[in-house]
A and B are shown apart, each in its own frame.
Chain A
Amino acid sequence: GQQVMQIPQYQHVQEGEDFTTYCNSSTTLSNIQWYKQRPGGHPVFLIQLVKSGEVKKQKRLTFQFGEAKKNSSLHITATQTTDVGTYFCAGNQAGTALIFGKGTTLSVSS
């Protein structure tokens, strides 16, 4: 069945350093979404990518969808302590359930 893999599982950075998490699917996706979950909180939708090669930015966050629509990445420039949390990618094929990756947990020390 469809699987969505995320790496790394954990990442610790110093405040001001960059951070990247990667998402890979075993199948071609119709769309990919990214969510952030703060410790003790719930997943919050960040962005959706649907086009091959698409790149979207939200302030210090840059999201990419691969040309083959099987992988995606989230890059955070100059991390801040407010970036702490778990970042999930989720993807699906048209008409099927959204599959969430296991997430990358980011910790930031000041």
Chain B
Amino acid sequence: DAGVIQSPRHEVTEMGQEVTLRCKPISGHNSLFWYRQTMMRGLELLIYFNNNVPIDDSGMPEDRFSAKMPNASFSTLKIQPSEPRDSAVYFCASSFGQGRDQPQHFGDGTRLSIL
């Protein structure tokens, strides 16, 4: 079975540009999570969707970040405008179940560099 699929794997862009990260969760999973990982801050939850509805977006850094889940098989995380401090690895994860106690399956991540 295919795991969580993220694209692109790597993104290098100049500050001020719009960045869109994409995620396809595991088929049948109804919870989706976006995380950001940096050396300084570790793994931080940005937003959590359940059944395509954003449940908790308290981790979204600021208005420059937005996330959507138009259907059960696709989600995007957008940064506009991007800044150098947004450089990080962004992971998407999915799980099956209502709550947040279920084991999460992570994609390979998008390594984002903002110059």
Genuine A/B complex: yes
Binding site for B on A (CB under 8 A): 30-31, 33, 41-45, 48, 50, 88, 92, 94-103
Known: A42-B106, A92-B100. 9 other contacts (CB 8 A): A30-B101, A43-B43, A43-B91, A43-B93, A43-B104, A45-B103, A48-B101, A94-B99, A98-B104
Closest 10 CB pairs of A and B: A42-B106, A100-B43, A45-B103, A102-B42, A43-B106, A31-B101, A97-B45, A42-B109, A42-B108, A98-B100
With both beta carbons as reference points, the residue of chain B lying nearest to A101 in the complex is identified as B42
What's the dominant secondary structure at chain A's contact region? Answer: loop
Are A95 and B107 in contact, CB atoms less than 8 angstroms apart?
no
Please name the residue on chain B nearest to A99 by beta carbon. B45
Inter-chain contact total with CB atoms closer than 8 Å: 47
Which residues of B are in contact with A by a Cβ distance under 8 Å?
Answer: 42-43, 45, 48, 56, 59, 91, 93, 99-101, 103-109
- What are 28 inter-chain pairs, A to B, with CB distance below 8 A? A31-B101, A33-B103, A33-B104, A42-B106, A42-B108, A43-B43, A43-B91, A43-B93, A44-B106, A45-B103, A45-B104, A45-B105, A48-B103, A50-B101, A92-B100, A92-B101, A95-B99, A96-B100, A97-B45, A98-B45, A98-B100, A98-B101, A98-B104, A99-B45, A100-B45, A102-B42, A103-B42, A103-B43
